[in-house]
Amino acid sequence: MGTPAVGFIGLGNIGQPIARRIVEAGFTLTVYDLADLSRRAPSAARCVKSATEAAAVDILFLCLPSVQASASVVAEVLAAASLPKTLVEVSTIGPAAARTAAAKLTAHGVMYVDAPVSGGVARAREGKLTTMVAGSEVAIEQALPALEAYCHRIYRVGGEPGQGQAMKLVNNYASIACMISTSEAIAYGTTQGLTMKTILDVINRSSGQSFVSRTLFPSHIANGAFDSGATPGIVGKDLALFVDAARAAGSMSEIGERTHEIFRRFAASASPHDDWLRIYEFIRDGKKD
């Protein structure tokens, strides 16, 4: 069997470098985005003007910013004259939306792979994302060569659509909550005359260490860069999805509810284009209202 034709919809901060990696791996790629494709599309990709045109491939990837955007594109794809064999959902849309999309696509003979990613813009550019994959073995095996083009680690977390989304929400919630608690700890330490460098040096060699303290603070906050590439809107969306999903499952999430409340206040005070890591400044400055 020859190399499958691949389609990609959504060339944002994460989607653009993923699409480039797929092209560089030797796949024929068709791309579509609402934004200007002349600036976003990989040079070797074929640009089309609609989601229905992009659907005329073997494997179609979606990397979109919201639950609503994903649902809208799935509806457009299902209206296409030619449907993909497999659709891979890279977007973070939550378990319920993934199950709904999978049911609609499967009813039309399209296999569904639930495959959200973690790692941010930097890892996407390096082709070293982590993906949490759920779906049938047949669908995953078909998508695997393209997944390997942009992922350093591929975890098969389950056979049912929604399980990949659940794993992504678990990871992101743990990271966001850690960011808030670490920010509170460091902000308090600085009120006691400790420098951020001293605090990080000590906790990174003690029990308080985490990805937040080892990577986010030294590489993106302490130097004033605030350049993770993720906005308050994107991160807040993932946090809200976790809280809603935990509530629907009857799972305890009291800290999640409080974390979400703090994040909502931060997002309301921030510019839509700010980096989400500026939540440290929000916490440091004591913006309680």
End residue of a domain, out of 124, 143, 159: 159
Q: Which neighbouring-strand residues pair with 60? A: 7, 87
101-111 burial, b at 16+ Cβ within 10 Å, e below that, comes to bbebbeeeebb
**Structure confidence by residue, pLDDT tens digits, 205-242:** 999 999 999 999 999 999 999 999 999 999 999 999 99
User: Is 204 contained in some domain?
Assistant: yes
- Residue 211 and residue 150 share a domain: no
Question: Where are the extended beta strands (E) located within the chain?
Answer: 6-9, 29-32, 46-47, 59-62, 86-89, 111-114, 117-118, 129-134, 151-158
pLDDT at 2: 74
224 versus 289: which is more confidently predicted?
224
**Structure confidence by residue, pLDDT tens digits, 93-144:** 999 999 999 999 999 999 999 999 999 999 999 999 999 999 999 999 999 9
Are residues 235 and 212 in contact, defined by beta-carbon separation less than 8 angstroms?
no
pLDDT at 255: 97
pLDDT at 39: 86
- Residue 173 and residue 155 share a domain: no
> Which residues have C-beta within 8 Å of that of residue 25, sequence separation ≥ 6?
145, 146, 148, 149
Q: Quick one: which H or E segment has residue 242?
A: helix 232-249
End residue of a domain, out of 137, 159, 181: 159
Structural tokens at position 272: 């839509």
CA atoms within 13 A on the CB side of 9: 31
Domain residues for the domain of 54 are: 6-159
- Residue 202 and residue 118 share a domain: no
Residues marked active site are found at 168
**Structure confidence by residue, pLDDT tens digits, 160-185:** 999 999 999 999 999 999 999 999 99
The count of domains in the chain is 2
CB atoms near residue 83 (< 10 Å): 18
Are residues 65 and 16 in contact, defined by beta-carbon separation less than 8 angstroms?
no
CA-closest candidate to residue 5, choices 46, 58, 41: 58
38: confidence class by pLDDT, cuts 50, 70, 90: confident
Q: Which neighbouring-strand residues pair with 151? A: 129
- Residue 96 and residue 29 share a domain: yes
- Residue 202 and residue 67 share a domain: no
- Residue 228 and residue 103 share a domain: no
Q: What is the average pLDDT across 2-7? A: 92
- pLDDT higher than threshold 60 for residue 289: no
